[in-house]
């Protein structure tokens, strides 16, 4: 099958493209197919560092795990990291190459990246039996079609068949499928093979008349109806912000092993990045994680996490404006646990000198840790391994800030003072032994009779989730038809649905 491919597009952002792509990858690899994921351009503040030191979107790293292959920069050659509503850092082949406004990017730079993106896809197709590509947003964003390098632009250039995913839980999925198709040019429509319904609740026989009518209107079939499945919120990526009330993973909170639960409050700072760091905490039986934006929500928290951010100075100002900064200072004075990760670690320090990210110059931090931070033009991208609390720890680093630690106890690359910890290392809590040791310390400092489970394996839980995604595809999609698409491309003679692109 060498070189087969498929583009998973969506009617909207968050329609389920990332998880469907991961599910197809896991289903294929279980069939003995050597498969890789690909997303030509991603916009995300949740990123990951590959073993060769390249920064890519976390969704592609998760999809690579689903495919049981090592993630590389080839799988996500262009990553946009928003710094505001109007500008983003452009990461090309894992390295930052500049900051651009949306107008500047779509006005010309994006098209310049088309050939490198296509070359990455072709290299993967020359190496793997199949490459499952993920689109971005909607392929029917007609204002952006001319410079598109992630949806129909890449599908046309690489002759990829396209399956469009729609989230029926939001309502209006038939109109979305029809309208998406009808707003594409005849050439683009010829690659749209059909549809995949996501997040369906209820009796599928009630949906079938609508699917038949959709086929009659478009000449395209539906390749499956995936049921709504709880607990599959894995490494979501698209969008500039996250919902404070709906961010935490949907995993069922198991009862605590000890007598108490442990409550974790995560400050939902602006431009929050790699908030997936707390997923490993949420996976622990008896640990309840929530995102907060008000000081009163810290009162009953046993641990407060100040997460990473693409705007440390902006996050500091936000913490002060909201009254959260004063609440954090009070917590530290009372010996109540606080953890700062990456930008959050920097905010807990004494001083920040930033002529790179915000260009604000010297800004006072919260003064909870004896750390001074200077922002360097070059971004640190690393996969460190170390030891803390007597346990082996693995992590990854993505930051411009260089920390000078002036005191306290050593803690990974940062420090600890009393019950305040800080580190640049993302992903450290995924190391099971270290997470348990850390939570034991938090429980003691918080006065909680909480006991970490001795057998929770975050890696095993992630594998279970990926297998569940593979099961969804295997059990609820027409896998024979999907395999034909991947091997042979879109069927000939698909009808044109007017009016087409304007």
From CA 39, how far away is CA 161, in angstroms rounded?
15
From CA 221, how far away is CA 88, in angstroms rounded?
38
DSSP 8-state assignment for residue 477: B
> Which residue in the block uniquely carries the two structure tokens 């997460």?
307
Closest CA to 105 of 89, 123, 121: 89
Task: Evaluate whether 495 touches 218 at the Cβ level (below 8 Å).
Answer: yes
Pairing of strands 371-382, 308-309: unpaired
In sequence order, which residues have a C-beta less than 8 Å from that of residue 90 and are 6 or more positions away? 78, 79, 80, 96, 97, 98, 99, 100, 105, 109
From CA 137, how far away is CA 43, in angstroms rounded?
10
Dihedrals phi, psi of 458, to nearest 5 degrees: -65, -40
Active-site residue among 399, 400, 426, 476? 426
> Which residue in the block uniquely carries the two structure tokens 């019950």?
419
In sequence order, which residues have a C-beta less than 8 Å from that of residue 390 and are 6 or more positions away? 437
In sequence order, which residues have a C-beta less than 8 Å from that of residue 75 and are 6 or more positions away? 36, 37, 38, 39, 56, 60, 63, 64, 120, 124
400 is catalytic: no
In sequence order, which residues have a C-beta less than 8 Å from that of residue 316 and are 6 or more positions away? 325, 347, 352, 363, 365, 366
Active-site residue among 342, 400, 415, 424? 342
399 is catalytic: no
Q: List for the chain the helix, strand, coil content (%; round to 5).
A: 35, 30, 35
What are the residues facing 195 on neighbouring strands?
A: 164, 222
In sequence order, which residues have a C-beta less than 8 Å from that of residue 403 and are 6 or more positions away? 345, 346, 349, 371, 372, 373, 413, 414, 424
CA-based angle 54:95:394, to the nearest 5?
Answer: 30
In sequence order, which residues have a C-beta less than 8 Å from that of residue 210 and are 6 or more positions away? 174
Catalytic residues: 342, 426
């Amino acid at each position: 099958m060498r070189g087969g491919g498929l583009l998973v597009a969506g009617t909207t952002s968050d329609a389920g493209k990332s998880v469907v792509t991961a599910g197809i990858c896991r289903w294929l690899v279980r069939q003995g197919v050597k498969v890789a994921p690909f997303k030509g351009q991603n916009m995300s503040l949740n990123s990951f560092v590959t073993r060769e030191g390249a920064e890519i979107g976390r969704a592609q790293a998760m999809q690579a795990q689903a495919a049981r292959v090592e993630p590389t920069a080839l799988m996500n050659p262009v990553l946009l990291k928003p710094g505001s509503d109007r500008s983003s850092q452009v990461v090309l082949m894992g390295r930052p190459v500049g900051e651009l406004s949306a107008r500047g990017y779509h006005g010309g730079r994006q098209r310049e990246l088309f050939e490198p993106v296509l070359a990455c896809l072709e290299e993967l197709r020359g190496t793997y039996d199949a490459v499952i590509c993920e689109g971005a947003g909607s392929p029917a964003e007609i204002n952006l079609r001319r410079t598109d390098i992630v949806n129909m632009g890449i599908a046309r250039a690489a002759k990829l068949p396209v399956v469009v995913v729609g989230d029926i839980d939001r309502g209006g999925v038939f109109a979305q499928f029809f309208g998406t198709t009808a707003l594409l040019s005849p050439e683009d429509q010829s690659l749209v093979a059909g549809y995949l319904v996501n997040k369906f609740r209820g009796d599928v026989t009630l949906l079938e008349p609508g699917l038949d009518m959709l086929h009659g209107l478009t000449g395209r079939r539906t390749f499956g109806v995936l049921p709504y499945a709880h607990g599959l919120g894995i490494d979501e990526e698209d969008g500039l912000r996250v919902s404070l009330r709906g961010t935490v993973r949907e995993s069922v909170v198991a009862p605590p092993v000890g007598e108490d639960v442990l409550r974790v409050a995560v400050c939902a700072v602006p431009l929050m990045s790699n908030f997936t760091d707390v997923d490993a905490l949420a996976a622990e039986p008896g640990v309840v994680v929530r995102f907060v934006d008000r000081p009163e929500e810290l009162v009953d928290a046993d641990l407060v996490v100040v997460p990473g951010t693409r705007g440390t100075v902006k996050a500091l100002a936000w913490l002060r404006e909201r009254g959260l900064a004063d609440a954090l200072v009070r917590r530290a004075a009372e010996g109540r646990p606080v953890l700062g990760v990456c930008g959050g670690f920097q905010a807990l320090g004494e001083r920040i000198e930033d002529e790179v990210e915000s260009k604000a110059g010297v800004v006072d931090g919260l003064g909870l840790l004896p750390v001074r931070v200077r922002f360097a033009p070059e971004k640190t991208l690393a996969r460190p391994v170390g030891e803390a609390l007597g346990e082996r720890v693995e992590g990854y680093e993505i930051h411009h800030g260089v920390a000078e630690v002036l005191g306290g106890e050593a803690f990974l690359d940062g420090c600890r003072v009393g019950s305040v910890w800080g580190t640049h290392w993302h992903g450290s809590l995924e190391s099971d032994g270290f997470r348990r040791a850390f939570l034991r310390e938090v429980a003691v400092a918080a006065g909680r009779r909480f006991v970490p489970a001795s057998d929770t394996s975050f890696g095993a839980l992630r594998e279970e989730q990926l297998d569940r995604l593979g099961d969804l595809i295997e059990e609820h999609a027409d896998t024979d038809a999907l395999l034909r698409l991947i091997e042979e491309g879109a069927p000939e003679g698909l009808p044109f649905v007017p009016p087409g692109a304007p």
